[in-house]
Amino acid sequence: MLSLFRRRALVAAALAALFIIPLPVATQGAPAEPVAMQVAKRGDTSKRISIETQNFTVVFSEAGARIEEFRNRDTAYPLRDGANIVVPNTEIYLAPYLGDPARVDLTTANLTSMMFAAFTFTKSEDADAVRIIATTPVQLVVDKNRYEATFSKEFVFLKKAPYFKFSLAIDTKANLKLKNLMLYALPMIGPAPEGSPGNFRDYHHYSHGEKFEQVYSGGGGAGFSCGGSSSAPKKTDAPIEFFGSSSRFLILNMQPLFKTLSTTLTPEVRTESKQLVNAQALHINLGDVTLEKGKPARFEFIGYMGPKLDSNLHPNEDARRVLPELSQFHKNLYKSFDFGITEPIRDIIVSALNLLYKVIPNYGIGIILIALLLKLAFFPLNQKQAEAMKRMGELQPKIKEINERYKNNPQEKQRRIMEMYKTHKVNPVSGCLPMLIQLPVFIAMYSAFSDAYDLWKSPFIPGWIPDLSQPDHVFSLPATLPFIGGFAVHLMPVVMTLTQFYQTKLTPTSGDENQRKIMLMMPFMMLFLFYAMPSGVVLYWTVQNLLSIAQQVYTNHKNSKAAQKA
C-alpha cells in the first residue's frame, strides 16, 4: 500500500501534468525566468540499476534516479555487512527543483515531478571507479512559453575507498535564468536497530562559516542523547561548507565544491489527522542560475558514506589520484561524528577494546577487562573517597550536636562546623573530588560502549546478548496485554540494579537520614535510566558495581581490623 506521502505526491504530479499542452516558444531577448517544471513521463519504480564497490552497494530507481538502497559493506564482519542507510519511504532523491526558500514543501508540483521523473541510465567503469549518469528531459515553463532542458545526475563511486562524487548538470537550448534552484538533498538515514526503535538516533548537520549545527531529526534516544524535532523549518542564510545525515554508527557527508546560497531543514510533514508523512530533510538553495545555450550549468559535490571513523575522513593518496577533489575535504568534517569533548578519551578506550579483541575475540570480555583496568587505575582515588566518607560519618554526631545547639544562629553554626572540620583535618568536598575526576572517563565510556561502530552487532553471550550495541532481550510481554503490550524484558539492567543496591547497603553514609534514603533510591533510578541502554554500557556498569562491592568489602575489613587493634 502506498504511503500517504506518496499518494499526495502522485496527486500533485497528476495536477502538474494537466498543464502539459503545446505552447509557443518565447522570442529571444533577456533570459526568461521559468517558474514551473514538467517532465516527459514518470519513471517505473520497478526498473533498477545497481553498482557494487569494495565499500558500497548502491541501487538506483528509474523513478527520479533516486537511491533506493545505499548499503555499507563490511566483509570482515558479516553481521554488519550490507547495512542499508536508506530508511523505508525516505529514499535519497538528490532532486533539483525550482522552489521558494521561504516555503519548502515536499508536495509541491515542481519537486514531485523531479522525484518521480523517468531517468535514462548509462553505466561505465574502470579499475578505479564506477560511473552512473542519469538523464531526463524537462520542460521549463514561464507564462505561455516552454523551454526544453536536460537534467543530468552523475555519480562516481571509488572502487576501493568509501568516497563518491555527485554532479548535477542542466543543459538548455535557450538563455534562461533559474531563480532559487533548490536541491532536495538528504532525508533522515538509518539503519534503525532491529526490535529496538528507542535506540534509533538520527541527526542532520551542516557547517557554515566556522559554525557547526546539528539538529536531532527524530526517532528515539537513550542515555545522554537529547533534542527533538522542530515544528518549523530551520533556515540558514549562509553558504555551507558541508552537510549530511547520521545515525548511531553510519554517516553520509556531502561537501559542495561551489558556493551555495542557503540551507533549509524541513520539519516533519503531517496531515490534518497528525499522521506522519515524511521525516525531516535537508534542502540546499543553489541560488539563481543563468543558463546559456550550449553552456551547461554544473554543480559538484564530494561525499563519504560509512562508519564514524576519523581515519576515513582522510583520503589516501590513491583515492585522491582517482578523485583529486577529495583533497578539498573540509578540516571540520570530524565534528559531524558528534563524539563530544571527551572524544580523545573515547578514542583511547575504543583503541584499547580493539587491541583486546585481537587477543580475545569477544568485545564483551574486552569491556569486562577495561572495567577492571579502570578500577585498578582509580583505586587510590576511590580509597580516598571511602576514607573521606568514613571520617565524615565519624563526625556526624558532633555535627548533629552543633546543629541542635546553634539552630537559631546559622552564622555561628556554620563557623563551628568549619572549625571542627579544620581541627579534625577533614575536607567536606574531598569525597566528591574523585568522582569529578572520573566523570569525563565515565562520559567517554558511555560514548565508546554505546555508539562505537566496532560494537555494532557484536555478540557477548549468544542467545542472551547477541548485540552489545542494543539492550539484551529475554522475552516480550504478549501484545494483547492492555497498556503494556509489546514491553520488552531486559535482564541485564535488573542485575545491574541488584548489584548497585547491594553496593549501597555496604557503603557507609554520613549518618544523615535524608541522604541515606536518597542513596537507597538511587539504584531504582538507575534501573529507569539504564533499562533501554545498550547492553555494552549496562555490562560495564554492572562489572563496576561488582568491583566496587569487592573494594568496599576489602575497605570494611581493613577498617574493622584497625578498630580491633585500637
- Give the tens place of pLDDT for each residue, 111-165: 889 999 999 999 999 999 999 999 999 999 988 889 999 999 999 999 999 999 9
Total residue count of the chain as it appears in this document: 566
Does residue 497 contact residue 562 with C-beta atoms inside 8 Å?
A: no
Beta bridge partners of 255: 302
- CA dihedral sign, ordered 135, 168, 251, 99: negative
Residue 437: predicted pLDDT: 76
Q: What is the mean pLDDT of residues 310-314?
A: 89
Among 104-108, 176-180, 315-319, 321-325, the least confident range:
104-108
Residue 483: predicted pLDDT: 47
CA distance 226 to 220: 9
Q: 562 or 171, which is more confident?
A: 171
Residue 435: predicted pLDDT: 72
Bridging pattern class, strands 488-489 and 475-476: antiparallel
Classify residue 43 as left (phi > 0), alpha (psi -120 to 50) or beta.
beta
Nearest CA to 146 out of 22, 56, 316, 29 is that of 22
Helix axes 379-405, 410-423, angle to 10 degrees: 140
The pLDDT of residue 428 is above 60? yes
CA distance 237 to 565: 75
Where does the chain hold its CATH 2.70.98.90 domain(s)? 4-20+35-338
Residue 215: predicted pLDDT: 80
Residue 481: predicted pLDDT: 52
Residue 485: predicted pLDDT: 47
Does residue 235 contact residue 101 with C-beta atoms inside 8 Å?
A: yes
Q: Quickly state the pLDDT bin for 482 (edges 50, 70, 90).
A: low
- Over residues 495-529, the pLDDT tens digits come to 999 999 998 888 766 555 666 777 788 888 888 88
CA distance 516 to 508: 9
Torsion of CA 553, 554, 560, 562, to 10 degrees: -160
Among 21-30, 388-397, 514-523, 534-543, the least confident range:
21-30
Nearest CA to 138 out of 167, 96, 101, 103 is that of 96
The pLDDT of residue 230 is above 50? no
**CATH classification of 4-20+35-338, choosing from 3.10.20.30, 2.70.98.90, 2.40.170.20, 3.90.1150.10?**
2.70.98.90
In the chain, % helix, strand, coil (3-state, to 5) comes to: 35, 30, 35
Tell me the whole-structure pTM to 2 decimals.
Answer: 0.80
Task: Please state, as a whole number, how many other Cβ atoms lie within 10 Å of the Cβ of residue 413.
Answer: 17
- Over residues 59-103, the pLDDT tens digits come to 999 999 999 999 999 988 888 899 999 887 788 999 999 987 777
